[in-house]
Amino acid sequence: MLYVSWDPILIGISFVVAFIASFVALDSATKICSSDLRSALFWRICGGATLGMGIWSMHFVGMLAMKMPIVMHYDIMLTIASFWVSLIAATLAINVAVSREKLPLSRLLLATCILSSGAVVMHSLGMLALTDYLVLYWNKTRLFFAIVIAFLASGLALWLAFGRKTNRHRTYINHVLAALVMGMTICSMHYLAMSAVEFSNTKEGTGIILHGSARTAMHSSVSETGLSIWVSTSTLIVLGIMLFISLIDSQLRTSRLTESLRQLNMQLEKQAWFDPLTHLPNRIQFDNRLDECLASAIEQRQRFALLFMDLDRFKQVNDMWGHHIGDLLLKSVAIRLKQCITEEMTLARLGGDEFILLVPDKNDDEVTTLARRLVDSIQAPFYEAGHVISVSLSVGISFFPSHGDTSQDLKFKADAAMYNVKQNGRNGWEIWHPTMQHIAANTPVYLSDLPAGQ
């Protein structure tokens, strides 16, 4: 029997290889469910290839850690066959285990059988690659325990990775834990199986010593040094490429997520500050701008005007043609009103068919000219979904500081002036004046709360 010693550094490296390959494979597998069909196929293949490469590389790094008093050679065909067995088994196991829902027990057992069987067969082929030069004596009990460990630990690793649903914050930790278990599984199975073998370079009963150099002419083989270069190069290339691709993909996913969050924030902001139908500022945003304008006007002693607008006969439109046509009409009204104002003005929809306009730093003549233009713009017929619709506009105006020094006073008096227009025949504009005081005195709530179309 040949004396066997072990290199602890290479043993450590073999575990690191198995761990890194397992982690990259699991990271690739988790991207399958969140990818489109083509990308999912790519991650299925790459995840299996990475894990298969890791199992195969770990095995041969472990073989290199085994030191014997002879130069070892490996049969090329068996070595290549062991590589493909590992690759196919790992790919099949990951594809069986990956699921959008909770992993069923039947699929977990199937994936476990495939992965552990692939690891055992790969290990056996890797060992048989030495049989041209060495005689192997197996301890069947230890070999059986190695197979059992391969099955149980493979099942545990797959369950940790795919068998339970965790929140996003625990996914990374879950992958690290599963990769650690999977790495220890691969290493434990390998080294326990290796401990079940005794090596001899003498055929039992013949006394013939087998020399690798004598057999090289008969079979193609690779030396221990050549195998180390081959394994190291292929492993570094594959893991390096996969880590790079995974990093780029994660960066792209992060960028897409950031963009999605930005768009979502914009939508939420728009919902909070803008009317969803007309996309004009809503009541909340208008009140903020009015307060800012009021503070600036007080500080700089400027004037501004508030125009309260309401469509005439809008209720009849809804009753006759339905709310869908009414919504289309409101959109068209908002477009016409916007065409009459300038950038420094703020037009908002308060709700229903009510609009309000803030006009900073304008004199009476400019404001009344604007009001006339607004009324005239609505008088032209609207054409909505095959219907010809005629409505008009009633506008009430209040000025700061002539009609009040608070936003509530200004809005209330502009509303009262608009209501006075409706009482006097609609389709026009009026400026608040003290004769309208009886409307304000007899109205305990804002007139804008009255039913639309009155």
Q: Do residues 29 and 94 touch, judged by C-beta distance below 8 A?
A: yes
The CA–CA distances, whole Å, from 230 to 48, 222, 236 equal 20, 10, 10
Can you give the pLDDT at residue 342? 92
Rounded average pLDDT per 10-residue block, the chain, 454 residues = 76 84 80 77 83 83 76 80 89 82 83 89 82 70 83 81 62 78 81 78 46 43 64 71 75 80 81 88 93 91 93 92 94 95 94 94 90 95 92 95 90 93 92 77 45 42
Can you give the pLDDT at residue 9? 84
**Prediction pTM value:** 0.53
Identify the helix (H) or strand (E) that includes residue 437.
helix 437-441
Q: Do residues 428 and 448 touch, judged by C-beta distance below 8 A?
A: no
Identify the helix (H) or strand (E) that includes residue 73.
strand 73-75
Can you give the pLDDT at residue 450? 42
Can you give the pLDDT at residue 74? 78
Give Cβ neighbours of residue 326 (< 8 Å, ≥ 6 apart). Answer: 314, 317, 318
Can you give the pLDDT at residue 180? 86
165 pairs with which residues across the strands? none
Can you give the pLDDT at residue 37? 79
Domains belonging to the chain, first-starting first, are: 5-264 (no CATH), 283-449 (3.30.70.270)
Nearest-angstrom CA–CA distance, 272 and 283: 10
Name the maximum alpha-carbon separation found in the chain.
129
359 pairs with which residues across the strands? 305
Residue 28: phi and psi, rounded to 5, are -65, -40
The CA–CA distances, whole Å, from 349 to 51, 77, 101, 117, 441 equal 60, 79, 46, 70, 26
How many other β-carbons are positioned within 10 Å of the β-carbon of residue 73? 24
Nearest-angstrom CA–CA distance, 182 and 191: 14
